[in-house]
Amino acid sequence: MSEVIGIRHNDEILDIQTAQSRCIWGEEIHFDNSSEALEIIRHSCAHLMAQAIKELYPDAKFFVGPVVEEGFYYDFKTCAKIGEEDLAVIEKKMKEIAKKGFPITKEVMTREEAMKKFAGDELKQAVMAKIQGDSFGVYKQGDFEDLCRGPHLPNTKLLHSFKLTKLAGAYLGGDEQAEMLTRIYGIAFADKESLNAYINQLEEAKKRDHRKLGLEMGLFAFDEEIGAGLPIWLPKGARLRRRIEELLTKALIVRQYEPVRGPEILKSSVWKISGHYDNYKENMYFTTIDDVEYGIKPMNCVGHIKVYQSSQRSYRDLPLRFYEYGVVHRHEKSGVLHGLLRVREFTQDDAHIFCRPTQIKDEVSNIIDFTRKIMEAFGFCYEMELSTRPVKSIGSDDVWQTATNALKEALESNGIAYRTDEGGGAFYGPKIDIKITDAIGRKWQCGTIQIDMNLPERFELKYTDENNAYAQPVMIHRAILGSFERFVAILTEHFGGEFPFFIAPTQVILIPISEEQLTYALEIKEQLLNIGAYAEVMDKNETLNKRIRNAEKQRVPMIAIIGEKEMASKTLAIRDRRSKTQYELNKEEFFNMVEIKIKEVSF
């Protein structure tokens, strides 16, 4: 029974499911914006949207309409061509229906009854084919009804704070060989204030969209001649990425990680040993060389296992910490590709730690501390989520329980509150997911810490213990940023392209007022490059004001104006974009300040 959303009946608060099953509706509905309440509100709103679509497009047939992290959606098909401009029409119809206050009722029927009821509807037949069992729920409101297990709100009148957000295409059941359906996304809340706040966030997100800013700032590009989901890093984007790598590498060296590198393709036989062939094959690319099948790596773990196996190991060697900025490839469906956030080729800030079972807690604690320092450097709030064994997995229950308990102990000993995602672990082990919150309140899945006792067993990894007997190490998979591509996308939107000085792709733009100051500007640029600062000279044959405006469009932290006076006095007129101030510095003061700003952050 839920205490968050429910129906008052004879001074008793009933949960929605119970009230619907007993056909009881009382005086009051209690709900808010808790995750439990929003799931029911948004699920009900999905059906409201489908009802509106059915009224507007009578030939429409519906597949599924689930609640997802970004709200809800419905997949459907119709002979009519639906465009973005039609979303407002559908939304208006939804409001009309909601005001009519249709009761939302549930009927339970057998498979045979449901098959008969939806005979002739191939999409409903496809839905039922995926469901096991003989009991089906059918929810009805007005003339609209659809298969659903619920629960829903009791009446459409309770839906008043919603908005349709986007239109997309989706393959039936996610199968690229199947027909393309129309998908409409929407969002819903318990109150207008929360909806308005979300709409404002969407508007701000549009301004910060990394795809738009990446193009404007010359960070990265995509080219259809090369292929979808394969980013091209332009010089400024590569400089930004390299700076993050440099900061990370320094921190890894201090923490005694060793650099390694595995091959890009490995024989399929090792992917069969690892379990990827059986559990992850649909996400991999394969090729054949000399009649032998190879898999392009979707992860770096097997290569690092081979590094471990390259030498005999003793308990004195452990823990061993290997890291690699490893390029991996995953077969993402075209419909989910999204700028740098979802690509087919990306580089992980990957590391694997091989340790003794007694060392797990300390190693995970060290990773948690490392994570804290990185997230604080970029101004991110973050939370951690413990993900447990999924249905599709390998290994014994005892191994999974031991690994899960080790993660729990590390989180709790560090005083970290965490949520549990039951069944959300990797197929080979439980994990901690790192979820960050950006400057406008959006949450992003970022890094992960995974405990793995299954791959060491499958590859027969060993070390000699204190008694000179063989023992099996534990393998910890960890990526704090997740991937450089995704992290750069998140950073770009977090800062709105206004990167802090220590990672900015261009840190200083020098603007000589006339040709006479160009040599002086070029000398300063060279000196800046020598101390590790990226600088450009803007000397196009344009007015000073236009050059300043163009420099500001690049969102550089600092612009230095050099005129006759500045050249004579060996000074620079500084426009500091971050502090929104203007001041003058001599050369020595300027270079000292730049060196401090470059080094102001470390992990």
pLDDT tens-digit series, residues 243-284 = 999 999 999 999 999 999 999 999 999 999 998 998 889 999
- Look at residue 13 and tell me whether its pLDDT is greater than 80: no
In CATH terms, the fold of domain 508-598 is Rossmann fold (3.40.50)
User: Which residue's entry shows tokens 């249709």?
Assistant: 102
Which pLDDT band, with edges at 50, 70 and 90, does 475 fall under?
very high
pLDDT confidence of residue 240: 96
> What is the rounded CA–CA span in Å between residue 192 and residue 574?
46
Measure CA of the first residue to CA of the last residue in the chain; give whole Å: 46
Q: Are 386 and 424 in contact (CB under 8 A)?
A: no
User: Which residue's entry shows tokens 């469009």?
Assistant: 553
CATH superfamily placement of domain 212-495:
Bira Bifunctional Protein; Domain 2 (3.30.930.10)
pLDDT digits (tens, 9 = 90+) for 375-389: 999 999 999 999 999
SS3 state of residue 112: helix
Which pLDDT band, with edges at 50, 70 and 90, does 18 fall under?
low
Higher pLDDT, 334 or 204: 204
Residue 151: is the preceding peptide bond cis (ω within 30°)? yes
- Burial class for 200, CB neighbours closer than 10 Å (0-12, 13-18, 19+): exposed
Q: Is the pTM of the predicted complex or chain greater than 0.85?
A: no
Amino acid at 231: P
Query: Does domain 6-207 sit in CATH 3.30.930.10?
Result: no
Residue by residue, DSSP assigns 561-577 as EE-HHHHHHTEEEEEET
User: What are the residue numbers of the active site?
Assistant: 301, 330, 348, 350, 352, 431, 477
Overall average pLDDT of the 400-419 stretch: 88
Residue 319: is the preceding peptide bond cis (ω within 30°)? yes
Domains of the chain, by residue range, sit at 6-207, 212-495, 508-598
pLDDT confidence of residue 14: 47
Q: Are 601 and 377 in contact (CB under 8 A)?
A: yes
Three-state SS for 229-284 is CCCEECHHHHHHHHHHHHHHHHHHHHCCCEECCCCCEEEHHHHHHHCHHHHCHHHC
Q: Are 406 and 364 in contact (CB under 8 A)?
A: yes
Share of the chain above pLDDT 70, in %: 95
pLDDT digits (tens, 9 = 90+) for 283-305: 999 999 999 999 999 999 999 99
Which pair of tokens denotes residue 442? 């959006």
User: Which residue's entry shows tokens 């900025």?
Assistant: 325
